[in-house]
Structure 1
Amino acid sequence: MLVISLYPSVKKMFLETLGLGEWSVKSWVETSHYGTPSSGAETNSRRLPRKSQNDSFITTFLEKLPKLPSHYCRKDTTKLYLEHEFSSYSDLYKAFVDYSKTQNTAPASRNTLIKWVHKKNIGIFKPRKDRCDTCVQYESQNLILEDWEQHRTDKERPQKEKNDDKEKAMQGVCHVITVDLQAVKTCPYLQASLLYFKTKLVCHNFTVYDLATNQCTCYWFTELDADLQASTFASLLVDYLTKKYLQNAAHIKPIIIYSDGCTYQNRNSTMANALLSLSRQYNVQITQKFLIKGHSQMECDSVHAVIERKLKNKNIEIPNDYYRLTGEARQNPFPYEVVTPDFTFFKNYSADLVYYLIRPGKKSNDPTVTQIRALQYEQGLITYKINFDQEFAESPHRPRRTPNDINQFLQLFEHKLPIAKKKYDHLQEIKTKISQNYWPFYDSLPFKWVFIIFIFPCFLFIFLL
């Protein structure tokens, strides 16, 4: 205790005269030696290890959180998104504070944590759609007015095209559908801090919506059944078109498919060859139309929003909970149809391609795949449009042969896809938080064994005589 503390009036006068704070004076006195303060170098040497320790602790925390690549932006960015969907940075900081308590460590500030989140190129909000580059430029005032007016016209044209096609579908002239993949879901999904640091089973929902009838089918599958290659999406779309529109030969009508321009999912040679084979087998005209990046609002988005509201504050213990809640999400005009394919469902449409490329050009300055606005499949040929106002043009690439019958494609997977051993171990820990009725499901999951092979160098000595 300082002697001056025994005389409150003297202490007050001393502090006010020099304009000092009480805690500052106490700190100086406690860290001094007979009135001589410690040197700046010594003070800095005591502070640096703490900062370094905080940074290391935050880095460890962030590295432990499981992450996923963005579904929509993976082509243009290396940013990873946290598997557990935090509602805000405050929510993430709360998890960090809880983690710090378990490690008996004083947590760093919220701003410090956010700084490291940005430094590590980590996102807590998964982007539902790519943002339009032109709109971002306009918002930043880096775009001239003439270019903005042209962009407004360009972005409104695809929506007008979709509305016109919807009118035709309502009149019974054709079938028009929209397709999209919902944001990644994980299982189990519980309100427990234990899950922050554990990898979980990944689930996907591929949605198809009929604009004329409002019928909607949700194809739910897990990472055990399929990955996200082009043949996976081609298998789902071919199944829907075949069962919904091509069973009755007397009532076959042209089919129009609207989607975003995601290349690995919708706009690629594998999907194109699958639809070409389907078109030839059933003698039906199939057209794919692609909406502009950042302006690909579709009816599927409203389906996903309805499902998200149904899932809010719900615990998901096994994938079947996603399937059940999706079926309950809408009642009028009728519930969503839920289909749960397993690994035997998917076909390999990337083998033995008729068209190796769908690019509308061959030279360096010719249009690229991402500029395609529409692809049409009819009579064994692929035609394309660069904009909706032009006529379909024949592909510059020649077909190699006649398309296969759709039933001739081989199975894509021979067995369930194993998960990583680390994920399997994490799921064994997580399952203790759910009902024991579901434990056998997680016990039966296939996983990859990791073999570590040690190779000892062998030295060969050659003696020259």
Structure 2
Amino acid sequence: MFLTTEIDQCVACVKYHQASADVKVSLEEEYKAHLRRKDQAQEAKKADKERTENDNSFMSVIFDLQSVLQIPSSKASLTYYMRKLIMYNLTVYEAAAPNKAFCFCWTEINGNRGSCEIGTCLLKYIKSLPPNIKFLPLFSDTCGGQNRNLQISALLLYVLQNSQLEVIEQTFLESGHSLMEMGSMHSAIERQKRFVSVFCVNDWMNIFKLARSKRGKNKNKPPYETEELKFSDILDLKELSAQLIKNKSIDENGEKSAQVASKPLRNFDHHDVYKANTPLEGLQSLNLNFEHPLPRRSIQFPRSGQAFCYTQPSLNAIWVSWAKYVPSELFRLQKDLE
């Protein structure tokens, strides 16, 4: 059950409800289509969750990036005004019991929050799947810079070439109505954070591991699995996309497609990509490589070539500003490493 919040409401719904009577008439069809897409996406998620419970070759997965985390974070008033180190946390949640969940985290020193970082985390998760999994539905929000782009499509094609998976279906939940199970993970992490201060990445990772409650329906569920990504882990999916995806807009009939960023997106083992705005509007086929089927070949998987976000002097400046509040053993360790 998902509760309706007073904040962070859907822009399209707010626009419709606040419009004058005359404007509402012009927005009516668009608003109804918006609600249909919302219902269809949620019904698809529910159906896949039920199938996951009964089919051991099927694994429905939801993933989402948590709101930015900060280091340091404590109740000391002056830390509120300090320069903070930003940390990102991609959470992955399995729909099948016992609902295993994963936290892939990295700081802004090691990466941004774009498609390369998100794709790297997804690849790490997919590699951990047992060999009996053949069908992998992925559910996420519609953020274009992170989830809904050619780089992630290229990654999924690469996975199909190099794993036991036969079908990967990526469904983008309607903007403003995501209603994902990740919310329970994020709130559990924030609730656990209230009891401790954070001065380093390991502090956040310990919070992740302890966040899941062991009471009630969660008593048989495992703790969140946690992994930190370093700069050297981030893959260059833009280069991979250039190697794999040669066709971005021509459909199977040789016509230019307007559905390049539409939903859902389904990758099959023969490497076609099917795109459709909604089931009511039909299904469209787009061959990304102009070859049918796409040959299984060795693909060079480059590492990200981006530069570090900070130089050493600015890192030192952060440590100096924290010196009065960081536990003394951590500050001494940093000085020893210089």
Q: TM-score range by the shorter chain?
A: 0.7 to 0.9
Structure 1 residues 405, 136: CA separation in 2 closer, same or farther (over 3 Å shift)?
farther
Give ranges in structure 2 of 5+ residues lacking alignment: none
Amino acid at match of 2:237: Y
- 1:347 is matched by which residue type in structure 2? L
The structure 1 residue matched to 2:14, chosen from 103, 117, 136, is: 136
Name the aligned partner's letter for residue 197 of structure 1.
Y
Residues 365, 164 of structure 1: alpha-carbon distance in 2 compared, 3 angstrom cutoff: closer
Please say if 1:337 is aligned against 2:225: yes
CA distance in 1, matches of 2:44, 2:150: 24
Amino acid in structure 2 at the alignment position of 1:136 = V
Residue 282 of structure 1, CA deviation: 2.2
Give the distance between the partners of 2:9 and 2:268, measured in 1 at CA.
Answer: 30
- RCO higher in structure (CA 8 A, sep ≥6): 2
- The aligned counterpart of 1:353 is 243
Determine the structure 2 residue equivalent to 1:430.
322
Distance in 1 separating the partners of 2:336 and 2:237? 30
The aligned amino acid for 1:187 is: I
Please give the per-residue CA displacement for 1:410-465, whole angstroms capped at 9, x wherever unaligned. 2225986535744641332113212111114554899xxxxxxxxxxxxxxxxxxx
Q: 1:269 to 1:169 in 2, by over 3 A?
A: same
| Mapped partners of 2:230, 2:257: distance in 1 | 43
Q: Which amino acid is the alignment partner of residue 255 of structure 1? A: L
Kindly state the Cα deviation for residue 276 of structure 1 after the two structures are TM-superposed: 0.3
Residue 52 (structure 2) aligns with: 169
Q: 2:276 aligns with which of 385, 406, 421?
A: 385
Match 2:135 to one of 247, 254, 259: 254
2:199 alignment counterpart:
317
Q: Distance in 2 between matches of 1:444 and 1:388?
A: 60
Hey, what does 2:160 align to over in structure 1? 279
> Is 2:192 the partner of 1:307?
no
Question: Which region of structure 1 is more displaced relative to structure 2, 201-210 or 411-420?
Answer: 411-420
Structure 1 window deviating more from structure 2 (382-391 vs 175-184): it is 382-391
Cα contact 1:235–1:347 (8 A) shared by 2: yes
Deviation at 1:337, TM superposition (A): 0.9
Tell me, in whole angstroms, the C-alpha distance in 2 between the residues paired with 1:441 and 1:341.
21
Give distance in 2, aligned partners of 1:188 and 1:298.
28
For the 8 Å contact 1:169–1:211, the answer to whether it is kept is yes
**How far off is 1:183 after superposition?**
0.3
Any idea what SS the aligned residue of 2:232 has? Answer: helix
- The amino acid of 2:271's aligned partner reads G
- Distance, in Å, in 2 between the alignment partners of 1:445 and 1:226 is 22
Residue matched to 1:223: 108
> Are 1:180 and 1:260, in contact at CA under 8 Å, matched by a contact in 2?
yes
TM-score after normalising by structure 2 = 0.81
Tell me the SS of whatever aligns to 2:129.
helix
Encode CA deviations 1:19-43: one digit per residue, 9 max, x unaligned.
xxxxxxxxxxxxxxxxxxxxxxxxx
Looking at structure 2, the residues matched to 381 and 224 of structure 1 have their Cα atoms a distance apart, in angstroms, of: 37
CA distance in 1, matches of 2:332, 2:64: 32
Opposite residue 203 of structure 1, the aligned amino acid is M
Range with bigger deviation, 144-153 or 261-270:
144-153
Measure, in 2, the Cα distance between the counterparts of 1:302 and 1:405. Answer: 40
Q: 1:420 to 1:290 in 2, by over 3 A?
A: farther
Q: Which position in structure 2 is the counterpart of 1:92?
A: none
Deviates more, 1:425-434 or 1:354-363: 354-363
Contact 2:209 2:224 (8 Å CA) reproduced: yes
Structure number, greater radius of gyration:
1
Q: Alpha-carbon deviation of 1:243?
A: 1.2
Aligned length: 313
1:382 to partner: Cα distance: 2.2
1:196 CA displacement: 3.5
1:339–1:360: structure 2 CA closer, same or farther, 3 Å change rule? farther
Contact 1:276 1:382 in 2 (8 A): no
Residues 360 and 367 in structure 1, CA contact (< 8 A), matched pair in contact too? no
Contact 1:273 1:355 in 2 (8 A): yes
Once the two structures are TM-superposed, the CA of residue 258 in structure 1 deviates from its matched residue by: 0.3
Aligned-pair Cα RMSD in Å: 3.1
In structure 2, which of residues 149, 161, 173 is the aligned counterpart of residue 268 of structure 1?
A: 149
The match for 1:95 is none
Match of 1:208 among 92, 96, 103: 92
1:288 Cα offset (Å): 0.6
CA distance 1:130–1:290, change in 2 (3 Å): farther
TM-superposition CA deviations, 1:280-337 (whole Å, max 9, x none): 2225211111001100111112111111111125311111111001101113322111
Q: Which moved more, 1:141-150 or 1:196-205?
A: 141-150
* Structure 1 unmatched runs, 5+: 1-126, 447-465
In structure 1, distance between residues paired with 2:255 and 2:8: 28
Q: TM-score, normalised by structure 1?
A: 0.60
* Aligned CA distance change for structure 1 residues 421 and 137 (closer, same or farther; 3 Å): same
Alpha-carbon distance in structure 2 between the residues aligned to 1:348 and 1:153: 36
Contact 1:224 1:416 in 2 (8 A): yes
* 2:301 corresponding residue in structure 1: 409
Question: Per the alignment, do residues 439 and 157 of structure 1 end up closer, same or farther by CA in structure 2, a change over 3 Å counting?
Answer: same
